[in-house]
Amino acid sequence: MVIYDTFLLFGQMLLALHVEEPDEAESAFFTAYMDRMEQFLREYAVWYAGSQKQYRPVDVITEPTESEEVREQKLSALLEELNDLVGLTGVKYQVNSMINLIRVQKMRKAQGLKVTDVSKHMVFSGNPGTGKTTVARILADIYKYLGVVKQGQLIEVDRGGLVRGYVGQTATQTQTVIESALGGILFIDEAYTLTVNKGEGDFGQEAVDTLLKAMEDHRDELVVIVAGYTDLMEQFLSSNPGLKSRFNHFIHFEDYTAEELLAILQMNLKKQEYHLSEAAKAKAAEIVERMVAEKTENFANARSVRNLMEQAIAKQAGRVVQMEEGRIDKEILSTIEPEDLG
């Protein structure tokens, strides 16, 4: 993530050079560039995991190395992190219900009672920026400390990380990704793009077939989460009977409300040691209310708020550097004012 953070800082510095409001085209270019950088890092992580492995992690780690007490403490902390997420009431309820079922089945097994085979594969549906990846990351760690998976790594890919351009290459690439995810969770974003075009020369179905076989062959070693827009995910599951039979947990992520987006903005600023002045808070509330009311094609929930924050930090920097150095104190360096919000 050092590369990503460096480019993010560099982009913010470039935007900060504009005394006036940054050009919309430049801001859009910067956002698109950072999205491509994130995609590159996801694909690199998959490649690196595959290139470094000479054995599967599940072959090495056979028993937990931490005490049960430590594992319970970490599990409690992760559940608290999940439940402290802004919004997502329905998501939290479903995930907690699933976790409770897994925990009780473990208790029954310990007492010699019959255990229900619980499918752990999931479908996350909803618009971009609604927290699907965030929940998947937390869930990967929760599953680790519940003993559902051995390692708890989350491998994130999309179509570009699975599909290649020639016959046979897609199956090999998909298998490499699957191998890197054994002992953890494989998260496939925009999974519907694998089946949306079934014309000649499209190898998305090859990836799906390889995935289905792996889900059966490694049913105790692999958890798969497929994610994307609600209607397109329904089409994806309907495209192959094998898909519908393997996914029986459907979790829908609602769009955030304006109040929730404002809370996310303030929380993210706090993590970076910034805060909104009272006047800036009122202006930010107006901005997110307009975002939610209009919901243009560029609206992306928490991602839109992230973009707003990054632009505000850049504009604040451009404003502060013009002040007399003797006037600049910790409070000024930490405060976002209304003019920083455009």
Pairwise pLDDT comparison (30 vs 160), residue with the higher score: 160
Average pLDDT, the chain: 85
CATH 1.10.3720.10 at 2-36+256-341, yes or no: no
Query: CA angle, corner 221, sides to 216 and 222, nearest 5?
Result: 70
Answer for the pair 134, 170: CB distance below 8 angstroms, yes or no: no
DSSP lists the bridge partners of residue 276 as 336
- Amino acid occupying residue 152: G
pLDDT score for 55: 37
**3-class DSSP state for residue 118?**
coil
Q: Do domains 2-36+256-341 and 58-253 have the same CATH topology?
A: no
Closest residue by Cα to residue 40 from 12, 4, 9: 4
For 254-306, write each residue's pLDDT tens digit. Answer: 999 999 999 999 999 999 999 999 999 999 999 999 999 999 888 999 999 99
Three-state SS string over 36-95 comes to HHHHHHHHHHHHHHHHHCCCCHHHHCCCCCCCHHHHHHHHHHHHHHHHCCCCCHHHHHHH
Closest residue by Cα to residue 143 from 111, 188, 98: 98
CATH 2.30.29.30 at 58-253, yes or no: no
pLDDT score for 116: 86
For 4-39, write each residue's pLDDT tens digit. Answer: 556 666 666 665 665 455 566 666 666 666 666 666
Query: Residue ranges of the domains in the chain?
Result: 2-36+256-341, 58-253
Dihedral angle at the C-alpha atoms of 294, 299, 301, 302, nearest 10 degrees? -130
Q: Is residue 43 predicted with pLDDT exceeding 80?
A: no
Q: Is residue 100 predicted with pLDDT exceeding 70?
A: yes
Answer for the pair 147, 106: CB distance below 8 angstroms, yes or no: yes
Instruction: Tell me the percentage of the chain whose pLDDT exceeds 90.
Output: 64
Q: Is residue 56 predicted with pLDDT exceeding 50?
A: no
> What is the average pLDDT across 73-93?
95
For 113-153, write each residue's pLDDT tens digit. Answer: 999 887 889 999 999 999 999 999 999 999 999 999 999 99
Please list, in sequence order, all residues whose beta carbon lies within 8 angstroms of the beta carbon of residue 149, skipping any fewer than 6 positions away: 140, 143, 183, 184, 185, 221, 223
The tokens for 37 are: 């950088």
Rounded-to-integer distance, Cα 321 and Cα 17, Å: 10
Count CA within 13 A, CB hemisphere, residue 3. 11
The tokens for 2 are: 């050092």
**3-class DSSP state for residue 197?**
coil
Backbone phi, psi, residue 314, to 5°: -65, -45
pLDDT band at 68 (very low <50, low <70, confident <90, very high): confident
> What is the average pLDDT across 30-49?
59
Backbone phi, psi, residue 253, to 5°: -105, 110
